[in-house]
Structure 1
Amino acid sequence: MKMIGDRSTRLIVLRGNSGSGKSALAAAIRSNRPRGIAIIGQDNLRRTILHLPDKKPSLTAEYIDLSAHFALKNGLNVVIEGILYNEIYGSMLRRLISAHEGVTRCYRYRLSFEETLKRHATKPDAADFGEIEMRQWWREEDALTGVNETIIGPEKTLAETTKAVIADCGWEPLTTPI
């Protein structure tokens, strides 16, 4: 297996149901680092760039993999965020995680459906889809098999979660976010 990145790079995988806070956490992580974090958002690649359904075989999984390889190869840290269903993205994520030479951390939001609806309502794009679509996408449990994922529950604030991820990655927190 060809290794990617180096000992200084970080690979962070953020998974969870729609509306749970993955994109907000990715943005908060980036705002707490000087530079050099590529955010690879499943929704952006799948819905905006490729305009494809979320099913196997997945061109989106290939595109995420390609994007992560490119960024890590060029010394960037990577945050991959999305629903990232195990059955569609699991194989790609496991390969990427095992090939990464640097620090890798994986997180999964575990929230009630009601909590995700509440969080979704605060998003700027909340009118783009609602409860009906979110129920179709909902997974009560979708662990990434074979990978140690840290669970993020409803009791954790965005600030607390950001601080924990920064520490887990071995980074010093900035005194004032950028």
Structure 2
Amino acid sequence: MGTDDTRLIVIRGNSASGKSSVAAGLRESFGRNLAIVGQDNLRRTVLRERDRPGGANIGLIDLTARYALDNGFHVVVEGILYADRYGTMIQELVHAHRGVSRCYYLDVPYEETLLRHATKHDATYLREVTPDHLSDWYREKDLLPDGLETVIGTDSTLNDTVRRILRDSGLDEVLPIDR
């Protein structure tokens, strides 16, 4: 799946850990030809599905990432992506990808999650997602097995995290394709 030249990046972590911001920063820094496969978009918007074991969104995330890689796009898969629900799919994506694959877990303590959540600009989302929700969703160090992920802590700024992922994946040395 993909080519020797495509990059697959997986960014996981708890709600409000910065996953979407990092994905957006990667695209802004890299340019075109980088697909963002967001769990929230596919699960909540496209399917309007709850996050449950065996959900249809797991296969849709997998198919979307594979399709983009097979068509020459670099791919960022981002979301909470609980290890027990999404881990097998992520591991299979990484093992099937012919190019460079890198996985990251944004490790943010619960207290920081609450602070970051409060800064979101979507008033409707803030009314619908309460601190009780965040507490229910929070899983400390929900890492994938076999050391597949690099853990990035709160001491890494957004810019530092983006630069690190660009460097680790080799995207900092790849020219974007203007599609």
Q: Report the equivalent of 2:74.
A: 77
Give matches, 1:35-50, under 5 Å: 35-50=32-47
- Contact 1:32/1:173 (CA < 8 Å) preserved in 2? no
Residue in 1 that maps onto 2:113:
116
Output the CA distance in 1 between the equivalents of 2:173 and 2:101: 18
Q: 1:42 to 1:65 in 2, by over 3 A?
A: same
Q: 1:59 corresponds to which residue? A: 56
Q: Secondary structure at the match of 1:132?
A: helix
Residue 121 of structure 1, CA deviation:
1.6
Structure 1 counterpart of 2:151: 151
Q: How far off its partner does 1:89 sit?
A: 0.5
Does the 8 A contact of 2:7 with 2:171 survive in 1? no
* Gaps in structure 1 of 5+ consecutive residues: none
Deviation at residue 122 of structure 1 after TM alignment: 1.7
* Equivalence map 1:100-115=2 (5 Å): 100-115=97-112
Q: State the Cα deviation string for residues 91-122 of structure 1 (Å, max 9, x = none).
A: 11111100000010100011110111111122
Indicate the structure with greater helix content: 2
- Range with greater deviation from structure 2 (43-52 or 71-80): 43-52
- The count of aligned residue pairs is 171
Cα deviation code 1:111-162 (max 9, x no counterpart): 1101111111222235141211111101012111135211110111000101
Structure 2 segments unaligned to the other structure (5+ residues): 175-179
Q: Distance in 2 between matches of 1:112 and 1:69?
A: 32
CA distance in 1, matches of 2:155, 2:20: 18
Distance 2:119 2:148 in 1: 30
Match of 1:25 in 2: 22
8 Å contact kept, 1:94–1:147: no
Aligned to 2:136: 136
Cα RMSD, aligned residues only: 1.4
TM-score scaled by length of structure 2: 0.91
Partner of 2:31: 34
TM-score (norm 1): 0.92
- Following superposition, the deviation at residue 21 of structure 1 comes to 0.2
1:86 paired to 2:89: no
- C-alpha displacement at 1:172, in angstroms? 2.6
* CA distance in 2 between partners of 1:147 and 1:29 (Å): 23
1:76 corresponds to which letter in structure 2?
F
- Rounded to whole Å, the distance in 1 between the matches of 2:74 and 2:171 is 12
Give the letter aligned to residue 78 of structure 1.
V
Name the aligned partner's letter for residue 164 of structure 1. R
- Per-residue CA shift, 1:63-97, capped at 9, x if unaligned? 00010011000000000000000111111111110
Kindly indicate whether the alpha-carbon contact (under 8 Å) linking 1:17 and 1:138 is maintained by their aligned counterparts in 2.
yes
Q: Moved runs in structure 1, 4+ residues, more than 4 A?
A: none
- Deviation of 1:44 (Å): 0.8
